[in-house]
Structure 1
């Protein structure tokens, strides 16, 4: 059963999507440090005490002009060629931050693969399948949610592929 939390998290679209689907999840609020030099994802992993290989970041990519969501571990980089290949495209570039925010309804650093304003083709790094629980943004900076990889894949209608690299 979904766990509710009183840390101003219940209102995010990601949390609402999990609750609506009846997906078991945990909510992990933390104090976001705007001066952290770790980057959003590694900061989240450290703050919630999770292995960075289990914490996933959500990145928006433009593949041949179409927005695609790439989800990779926070200690990895997104392989743009692999994302393009995974969706049958030729050329991929990182989407402009403003475009990503408008398309998802979230702010950079808080973009969740769950509950986005518009559903986009989503590719999750295949490493997700090696974990019992993974963590993704809960829809704002300073909020992650833990859930089963299968639920993440189902809720986002994602395909898995080797899109992360060291």
Structure 2
């Protein structure tokens, strides 16, 4: 069952994880509205190495749809590798307004869990090297720590080599 801490917000992501019986730990911090590098802010504020904190990026592919790539915040998304993992040849980042509308979350707080429109999801294979990773919990300043395998189970995702740098 989920491990709750006092004052942790309830988001679509936490509801989905609780319903699925997936164990997670919520981590909240005071988000600075002037900060736009959300991943670096999370690593700094939570005191967790950036390689364990993953960002969720929505793309469009030439295969005719949208998809989700999840990579460490200290890396870049390899768009060509993600496109291939999603059955295409090319991908580009989705327009932020489209990403917000399809996910139901605000940019900087887009969680791979509990999105309004479930999309094919690929988690960078580097996540497999950690017992737990952190992903956005559905709000800026709120992350969820969970096992990579549990993240893949709840998103019906797969591992892939999708990062650069």
1:4-153 equivalence runs, <5 A? 4-7=4-7, 9-10=9-10, 12-36=11-35, 39-64=37-62, 65-153=64-152
| Structure 2: gaps (5+ residues) | none
Secondary structure at the counterpart of residue 135 of structure 2:
strand
Partner of 2:3: 3
Residues 92-132 of structure 1, C-alpha deviations (whole Å, 9 max, x = no match): 01100000000000000000000001110001101010000
Answer yes or no: is the 8 Å Cα contact 2:111–2:137 preserved in 1: yes
Shift of 1:90: 1.6
1:149-164 equivalence runs, <5 A? 149-164=148-163
Secondary structure at the counterpart of residue 67 of structure 2:
strand
Shift of 1:8: 5.0
Shift of 1:36: 2.7
